[in-house]
Amino acid sequence: MKKNILRVVLFLLYPVSLAAVSFAKANPQAVEKWYSSSVYPAVTPLISGITAFFGFSLAEIILVTVPVLLFIYLTAKVIFFIKQKTAFKKVLKAIAAFAVNVLCGLSLLYFLFIFLWGLNYYRPKLNDIAGFNTQNITVSELLAVCENLAANLNAVRKNLSEDENGVMVLSRSKSGINTAAIAGYENLRRNYGGWIKGVPKRAKEVILSVPLSYLDIAGIYIPHTAEPNYNANVPDHTKPNTVCHEQAHQLGFAREDEANFVSFLACVNSGDDDFVYSGLMLAFIHTSNALYRADAESYGKITGLLSESVLRDIRANNEFWKKYEGKASEISNKANDSYLKSNGQAEGVKSYGQMVDLVVAYYRE
């Protein structure tokens, strides 16, 4: 009897979550006041404070071991039914009970996703929260920002280390990456204390980084364990902005375009040349792509301003991801697109390009 009551409660968490999402969509200011700026910054550090003690990604271990344990359990059950010559009705009853348990588990996971992080998708847009003016951006402004970013990329790139192929390599260790990232966020909080709530915990390298590369994933934030995770296999110049991007998610910036912009700010405020370069590169790629769509001729001029060393890094990055193109990355991108759309980002993966307005607004200031 108690088991049935628990199942009902767990199953009802799903409609409760849907109701919360429906309310959040209609009341972004309430989400900001009562959740994103109050409950979320209080609860998440409690979870991340525990999971940060682990030197590995706890979420990755769970995601790998649970399916394995489930497979072992199901295999053992099948063998047991065969050996015992269990009646067909009992087998069907066991299958139904298992299915109900799975649905209850999924309901609980979705509930935790929504209340531990997902409601952040429905807070007001960052330009409204932080007061950035993103209105009436002109092509000439976009061109000026691209020129500024290109000049800064060239200047910072001269100070960086290279491998034997002339491609940028990080001068910091794994722990050093997190030290610089957290320093960037500490500086960011001092400069923008009104809307940056707290400092993130360390990001963790994913052990299965190569499979992530095949899925076209550079980083992933897991709300249930409040862990920012990054692909250790990606080119070095993208690691800092990837780490800061996932940490931006941990701070409550759920939308991809806003997490990219916050990552850019954290990188350029870090005081570390590797991070500054990575942040500038992130902003340049997005703004120059936008410029290409608006004025292809100006885009050609902008790319001509980049030094050969910066171009080598860009080519290395393109070649890296090309190696992993295939059906897996295509399926992953479609799944990610559906996920973003289901959480209120109508443009799906295209929303990654919407940081451009924020970058231009930043340079306006």
How far is Cα 218 from Cα 229, in angstroms, rounded to an integer?
9
Q: Express each pLDDT in 19-38 by its tens digit.
A: 999 999 999 999 999 999 99
Helix axes 139-157, 296-303, angle to 10 degrees: 10
Per-residue pLDDT tens digits for 180-214: 999 999 999 988 877 888 889 999 999 999 999 99
pLDDT digits over 291-337, tens only? Answer: 998 888 988 899 899 999 999 999 999 999 999 876 544 454 454 45
Each residue of 128-178: pLDDT tens digit? 999 888 888 889 999 999 999 999 999 999 999 999 999 999 998 777 899
Q: Quote the pTM value.
A: 0.91
Helix (H) or strand (E) holding 110: helix 88-116
Sorting pLDDT into bands at 50, 70 and 90, what band is 1?
A: low
> For the chain, what are the domain ranges?
2-122, 126-364
State whether the Cα torsion 92-107-8-5 is positive or negative: positive
pLDDT of residue 341: 54
CB 277 within 8 A of CB 156: yes
Per-residue pLDDT tens over the stretch 91-121: 888 888 889 999 999 999 999 999 999 999 9
Average pLDDT, the chain: 89
38-77 b/e (C-beta count within 10 Å ≥ 16 → b):
eebeeebbebbeebbeeeebbbbeeeeeeeeeeeeeeeee
| Percent of the chain clearing pLDDT 90 (strictly above) | 68
Residue 140 CA from chain centroid, whole number: 31
Angle between helices 273-294 and 296-303 (to 10 degrees): 150
Map 303-342 to HEC letters.
HCCCCHHHHHHHHHHHHHHHHCCCHHHHHHHHHHHHHHHH
Distance CA 282, CA 278 (A): 6
Check if the beta carbon of residue 178 is closer than 8 Å to that of residue 230: no
Using CA atoms of 62, 68, 73, 75 in order, give the dihedral in degrees to the nearest 10: 170
pLDDT of amino acid 342: 52
Q: Which residues contact 155 (CB under 8 A, 6 or more apart)?
A: none
